[in-house]
């Protein structure tokens, strides 16, 4: 039984046409791209699960890419699968957050259902954690704290909308390419806090991140925001140490550890993070009522113990920032001649564009300026005294709206540059000094184009 060449759905034995896209099966010539509801043209497969497929598709009406979840036709008649997809759509539609994937549409296609949602291009957090582990390193603590804050922000939006995610884990977290924005994905297991719960369905989630009350399943009313707090703490534990608190043995063993065993202290694996021990310990309490009840409480506790971290406070006016009509471009380089070069390239790359150009000669100077007005595009030097490019970007990303900046990294030490570290901050554009002016201008044009698209997406742009 071969899958359909167009949509990837497994065909039934003896079928001559696909049930989902009606393409001929077998050795027929390549069929036309699948079109869902007359407007979503499937381009490729992003993933496949037991119950369906996730495609990358283009919304022909609005000209943007979307992630299209389509239930396998065999599951479409099963009420739990269809209602779960519909529940995911309804849950997401009620939420407004930069850190939760947006839903665009839910509907029927042939004899099944689909969900069109925001396509977030980037890397999963679990892949980034693994990549750091492969280099015997951790995601830098400051950056990890920002990711944690953004996740908590997304979860708070969900909880405010009356929804529990129930499957918070690193593989459901995406770090967006270009911006470094943290986005929570996959609300397939989400449920409303007010709708009655079928006890048979309360045992859901991923063992290494499941809260004890989810495992017990005795009292489904116990599943609330504090359930996600527990999973968020497991995710944070993995973010900082490379592994969740309980990740060994079989599934039953892991579940038993979640139920009965005290979690290891964060400092047992990262002694320098001992100041976070009490926060993670409380968030991982077996008794849900002893935990932080909300993600906002958890983050307030994190902020409390991180007082010694140099955190930059937002001192600008968000409304003023978001209404800015021009593209704000910041060049951060301790070499004034290179800054002039970059400024010249900006004028060449973006002719006729209203630009606010800021050149900063150090990371600190850049952050002081960014605190007043967040840049859309950053040209960042890696090798700088005191605060290098990595630390500067980590602080920038931690600022409100800091995940909106598109970053282009420039270094004369590219061979020794730890690009994988920058991946955790969404950076994908690297240029090596000496850099040709035309190449620089070309790359800057691409990056600025993405910045415009980002601003449009979040309705921050106001075309002149």
Give the footprint of another protein on this chain (CB under 8 A).
326, 334-341, 343-345, 347-361, 365, 369, 383, 385, 411-412, 433-435, 437-438, 441-442, 445-446, 448-449, 452, 463-464
Question: By C-beta, is 115 or 345 nearer to another protein?
Answer: 345
User: Least distance in Å: CB of 348 to another protein?
Assistant: 4
Backbone angles phi, psi at 3, to 5 degrees: -70, 155
Distance CA 266, CA 271 (A): 7
User: Least distance in Å: CB of 368 to another protein?
Assistant: 8
Token pair belonging to 442: 């070309």
Q: Identify the H or E element spanning 7.
A: none
> Strand order of the sheet with strand 103-109?
35-36, 40-48, 52-59, 64-71, 112-118, 103-109
Question: By C-beta, is 32 or 337 nearer to another protein?
Answer: 337
User: Least distance in Å: CB of 365 to another protein?
Assistant: 6
User: Least distance in Å: CB of 437 to another protein?
Assistant: 6
How far CA 51 is from CA of 40, 47, 71, in Å, comes to 20, 11, 6
**Whose structure tokens read 């698209």?**
453
Question: By C-beta, is 268 or 320 nearer to another protein?
Answer: 320
Question: By C-beta, is 344 or 418 nearer to another protein?
Answer: 344
Q: Where are the alpha helices (DSSP H) in 399-457?
A: 419-423, 437-457
Distance between the two ends of the chain, CA-based, in angstroms? 56
Residue 167 known to be catalytic: yes
Reduce the DSSP state of residue 50 to 3 states and report it.
coil
User: Least distance in Å: CB of 242 to another protein?
Assistant: 31
**Whose structure tokens read 């390549």?**
30
Q: What is the dihedral of CA 422, 231, 154, 129, to 10 degrees?
A: 10
Question: By C-beta, is 296 or 353 nearer to another protein?
Answer: 353
Distance CA 125, CA 131 (A): 10
Q: Which of 59, 167, 228, 376 is catalytic?
A: 167
The residues assigned a catalytic role are 167
């Amino acid at each position: 039984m071969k899958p359909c060449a167009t949509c990837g759905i497994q065909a039934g034995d003896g079928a001559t046409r696909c049930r989902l896209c009606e393409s001929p099966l077998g050795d027929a010539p390549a069929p036309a791209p699948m079109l869902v509801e007359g407007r979503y043209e499937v381009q490729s497969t992003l993933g496949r699960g037991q119950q369906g497929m996730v495609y990358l598709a283009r919304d022909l009406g609005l000209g943007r890419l979307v992630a299209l979840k389509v239930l396998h036709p065999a599951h479409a008649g099963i009420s739990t699968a269809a209602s779960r997809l519909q529940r995911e759509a309804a849950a997401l539609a009620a939420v407004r957050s930069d850190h939760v994937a947006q839903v665009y549409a839910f509907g029927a296609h042939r004899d099944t259902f689909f969900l069109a949602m925001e396509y977030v291009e980037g890397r999963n957090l679990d892949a980034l954690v693994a990549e750091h582990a492969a280099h015997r390193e951790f995601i830098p603590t400051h950056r990890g704290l920002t990711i944690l804050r953004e996740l908590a922000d997304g979860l708070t939006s969900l909880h405010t909308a009356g929804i529990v995610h129930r499957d918070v884990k690193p593989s459901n977290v995406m770090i967006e390419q270009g911006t470094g924005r943290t986005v929570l994905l996959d609300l397939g297991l989400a449920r409303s806090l007010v709708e009655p719960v079928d006890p048979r369905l309360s045992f859901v989630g991923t063992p290494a991140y499941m809260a004890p009350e989810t495992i017990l399943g005795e009292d489904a009313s116990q599943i609330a925001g504090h359930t996600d707090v527990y999973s968020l703490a497991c995710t944070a534990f993995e973010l900082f140490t490379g592994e969740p608190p309980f990740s060994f043995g079989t599934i039953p063993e892991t579940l038993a550890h979640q139920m009965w065993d005290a979690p290891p202290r964060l400092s047992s694996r990262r002694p320098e993070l001992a100041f976070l021990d009490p926060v993670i310990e409380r968030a991982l309490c077996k008794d849900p009522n002893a935990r932080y009840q909300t993600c906002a409480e958890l983050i307030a506790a994190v902020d409390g113990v991180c007082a010694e971290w140099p955190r930059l406070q937002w001192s600008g006016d968000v409304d003023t920032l978001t209404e800015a009509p021009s593209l704000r471009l910041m060049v951060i380089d301790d070499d004034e001649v290179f800054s002039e070069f970059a400024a010249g390239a900006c004028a060449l790359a973006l002719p006729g564009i209203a630009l606010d150009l800021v050149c900063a000669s150090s990371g600190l100077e850049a952050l002081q300026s960014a605190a007043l007005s967040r840049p859309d595009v950053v040209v960042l030097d890696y090798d700088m005294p005191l605060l290098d490019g990595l630390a500067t970007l980590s602080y920038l990303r931690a600022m409100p709206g800091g995940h909106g900046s598109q970053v282009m990294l420039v270094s004369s030490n590219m061979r020794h540059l730890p690009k994988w570290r920058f991946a955790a901050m969404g950076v994908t554009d690297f240029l090596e000094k000496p850099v040709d002016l035309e190449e620089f201008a070309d790359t800057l044009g691409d990056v600025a184009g993405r910045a415009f698209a980002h601003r449009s997406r979040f309705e921050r742009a106001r075309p002149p």
